[in-house]
Amino acid sequence: MDSATVTSVTTIDPAEARHFGAMAAEWWDPKGSSAMLHRLNPVRLRYLRTQIDAHWHGDETSFTPLAGKRALDVGCGAGLLCEPLARLGADVTGLDAAAENIAAAQAHAALSGLTIDYRTGSVEDLRDGTFDLVTSLEVIEHVTDPAGFVAGLARALAPGGVLVLSTPNRTALSRLALITLAEGTGT
């Protein structure tokens, strides 16, 4: 092996990618395995909108506050956040470890008439510049190296950009409710 060989480092947990990829067909079903995410999404979107308007001194009445901005959603699943970001005017890239999720995301975006750059892979492999908005919601608890994952998110963030990272509360009850029940059964 010569010194020019590059070794790809990833924080993707293959078992987690398989688990979520197996649910790809149900991502857009509000009563399916992603039901909890469907219920959380309106709250998340209000929070994101508030942060976007505050950070970029936007007009809260604008329908496209992200016009001219690049957005990256890491761990995008089938695009539950990517699509609203695109509707808010962003040039969106959705990144997920499971090819099945990316296929579901592409199909849904096409049906919705949205242009979103969906890719299978890890944030560590992303090499095409930086993004004004980087989101990763309920993903960090599924990676092999949380610190490395956050470093990858930070590398993808443009100077002056916004990074939004969320994870469930780390209590036993929260883990049972959100990870075991919600992700396992779709409640």
Domain boundaries, the chain: 14-56+64-185
Estimate the crossing angle of helix 14-21 against helix 99-112, to 10 degrees.
40
Percent of the chain with pLDDT over 90: 60
Q: Which two tokens stand for residue 94?
A: 């959705």
Amino acid at 31: K
Which parts of the chain register pLDDT below 70? 1-9, 170, 174-187
Topology at the third CATH level for domain 14-56+64-185: Rossmann fold (3.40.50)
Our CA angle for 102, 30, 111, nearest 5°, is 50
Predicted model pTM: 0.85
Report the C-alpha gap between 178 and 186 in whole angstroms.
10
